[in-house]
Structure 1
Amino acid sequence: MKTHISANEATYGPQQYKTFAGALTAFFSEECPQLGGMRTRQVLSSAIISMVNKYYPETSHLKPGQTPWVTTDKNATKSYGKKISQTPLVSIILDLVRAEDIQERKDGKKLRDMKKEAVARMLKQSYEQGGCMTSVELAILLKISPPTVGKYIKEWELEHNEVLPRRGSIHDMGPTLTHKKIIIEKLFIKKLSVQQVSRETYHSFQAIQRYISKFKQVLICYKKDMNINEIAKVVGNTPRLIKEYEAIILEYKDRGFVLEQIINTDAKVDSQYETIINDLNSQKN
């Protein structure tokens, strides 16, 4: 056991603790002695520093109009009733205002259209950085109401036939009819592959397979003249969800599509992904 320290260690050793980590360790020692010994306090200090670096990134290279934001991790496992305090978060950087926004306003572009584009832009930026934003977050950033954000998202998705990567669609939460409609349209009407639809709609293969299975189940029941409550009981979903699928079915009928053909149509899978899909199916069975 070491019984003495050198002059250099005695002189310079204490300087190693004159840091943020040292201040945290000293704080825990003084204010929270019940936490344990030095090693435990150092581990806690290290964890806190890591979180500070993660959620308070350096802003020296932020462009004018950019803002840091903290949102839900897109890979967070969804769970009914799960609190946000139990959900992993990530720190992201968003282009709240772009340099070209000034020129567009100068040229007479409508503010409503600019906000709609901002909603789409920030949702995509969030996803690209590992995040998964909600309408409420966008409403706070843009100083508008969540229902207005919802309208912008719906309009943009229908105009571009593309699903925006928001928490409602990625984690399949809430009444997000639009993304269901777009996915089914791409699979059964446009005949795109499962792989391509997965990429274009920010959905996993499992989610795409679930939509295919559920839509066909509802469609078969609908063809048997079952009502919404009966269909909900048969397929094991809520009447609200069945109404969403029914709305899609009714639209296809109005557009002249033959429902029997959709029932008998298998979603296209690119050859290199057939093994993945087969594995998923085998896991279900």
Structure 2
Amino acid sequence: MDEAERAIGIARLAPWSLYLNHQGKHLALPLLRPDYLQPMLRGGDFSAGRERVRQACIAILQEADPEATEEDLLARIDPWALARRRGPHRYVDCLQTESRPPGDGGGWRTWIDALKPKGPIARLNTLDLSIPEPLLDELTHFVSTEAGLGRIISRRLVEETVTLRNACCPRPSQLQSGEMLVLATHVKAHPSVELAARFRRSTPVVLSVWKPGELGANHSLSNAAAQLEQLKRRLVRVCFEAYRQNGLLSQMDLQWIFQISSARVSELLRSAQREQNVIVPTPGTILDAGRSMTHKDIIVGLHLQGYSVREISRMTYHSPIAVDNYIGTFESVLVLKLYDMPPFLMARLLRRGVSLIEEHLNLIERLNIDERDLKEYLLKRGVSL
């Protein structure tokens, strides 16, 4: 297929390639490739893999622009590496950790609601849905012979596979400068069903790593705090863009997209969630794949402040069913705690994991809910004690 397309002048971008229009030239900077993982598989950390990214990308950038420097590259794939040189050196020195009052999203909800990304399938045209007839016949015969399927079914299977391949490998003209296609975890890839990451259902999504005008304005940001605020918004944006294409980006995905460690990604997402009272869609918050309690903290906190399920759902971008489930589990743990039931029995009774029960118990402790408050709350909820 690749040879057939090259013969007629069709070029495609591999997944995880950041597409940039640099001085009128089309660049594809590969931010994730299998060879980048080799140092990490041998016991190294993310910085070793990131060094390989920079080596590969600077070669591509300098081929298009011989005068390009490492700083020119970092400004495009890791601007925080430049900003932190001017200080402060720690993320936590710039992060805001105080929550805003519910409903005060600082304008974030406005632009989050306005995000309407165009998915990869919607970008396909006739050129992507067709295949040279000789090649189609050859592949159809191969599938029919190997799988023992009829010719009509085999032909349809080949056509669907080619369409999926083309959706995952877009042509440069199908992306805007600053966009990138990645394979994200599907929103229905629940870990209880598909536990191993390599077997989880994936879906192609197109992300706006850079929006028009952002890359140029990035150089004019005056300090590290401003750079960090922009990075935080970009992280949140791509998470919501993926979610609206039925995809979820993990912290590991985000570390390659933005070339910062997963620990830094976690700090930024937690800061955004606490500061803006929004829940960023990730496998941890949507599929409960992970030990993060931030989204549960926010939902339970808003519930205790008197907000309805519908209001919490709107403010946190969670479905009403998910919100009700979090609140129900929290209230069940409250009742059982009143009777001093041990966590392992709570887990069996509620059919939840022991670790989840312990997380809710820790949340109750952090909220300083004593026995008197607990009884008062349950009485208000109509529980007879």
| TM-score category of the 2 structures, normalised to the smaller one | 0.7 to 0.9
Contact 1:65 1:95 in 2 (8 A): yes
Runs of 4+ in 1 over 6 A off after TM superposition: none
Aligned position for 2:146: 34
1:35-114 alignment, distance < 5 Å: 35-36=147-148, 37-84=150-197, 86-98=199-211, 99-110=213-224, 111-114=227-230
Contact 2:251 2:265 in 1 (8 A): yes
Q: Tell me how far 1:33 sits from its aligned partner.
A: 3.0
Contact 1:253 1:259 in 2 (8 A): no
Gaps of 5+ in 1: 1-17, 268-285
Aligned position for 2:296: 180
Identity among equivalent pairs (%): 23
Q: Write the deviation string for residues 216-242 of structure 1: whole angstroms up to 9, x where unpaired.
A: 111122233444445444434333212
Cα 1:240–1:234 change in 2 (3 A) is: same
SS at match of 1:253: coil
Contact 1:25 1:45 in 2 (8 A): no
The alignment status of 1:126 with 2:239, answered yes or no, reads no
Contact 1:123 1:166 in 2 (8 A): yes
Amino acid at match of 1:173: A
Q: Write the deviation string for residues 193-224 of structure 1: whole angstroms up to 9, x where unpaired.
A: 21222233333333222212211111122233
The alignment status of 1:23 with 2:135, answered yes or no, reads yes
The alignment status of 1:198 with 2:310, answered yes or no, reads no
SS at match of 2:291: coil
Cα 1:31–1:180 change in 2 (3 A) is: closer
The alignment status of 1:251 with 2:354, answered yes or no, reads no
For the residues of structure 1 that align with 2:143 and 2:333, how far apart are their CA atoms? 60
For the residues of structure 2 that align with 1:88 and 1:30, how far apart are their CA atoms? 26
For the residues of structure 1 that align with 2:379 and 2:216, how far apart are their CA atoms? 52
For the residues of structure 2 that align with 1:216 and 1:254, how far apart are their CA atoms? 12
> Match for 1:241 among 324, 337, 356?
356
Report the TM-score when normalising by structure 1.
Answer: 0.75
Number of residue pairs matched by the alignment: 249
Report the TM-score when normalising by structure 2.
Answer: 0.57
Contact 1:73 1:88 in 2 (8 A): yes
Amino acid at match of 1:68: L
Contact 2:139 2:158 in 1 (8 A): no
Q: Write the deviation string for residues 243-269 of structure 1: whole angstroms up to 9, x where unpaired.
A: 2112221222279x93333324459xx
Cα 1:133–1:228 change in 2 (3 A) is: same
Larger helix share, 1 or 2: 1
Amino acid at match of 1:108: S
Aligned position for 1:169: 285
Q: Tell me how far 1:85 sits from its aligned partner.
A: 5.2
Q: Tell me how far 1:109 sits from its aligned partner.
A: 3.7
Larger Rg: 1
SS at match of 1:42: helix
Amino acid at match of 1:103: A
SS at match of 2:204: strand
Contact 1:188 1:265 in 2 (8 A): no
Amino acid at match of 1:215: F
The alignment status of 1:140 with 2:140, answered yes or no, reads no
Q: Write the deviation string for residues 125-164 of structure 1: whole angstroms up to 9, x where unpaired.
A: 1112221111110011111222221121111111111110
For the residues of structure 1 that align with 2:220 and 2:153, how far apart are their CA atoms? 58
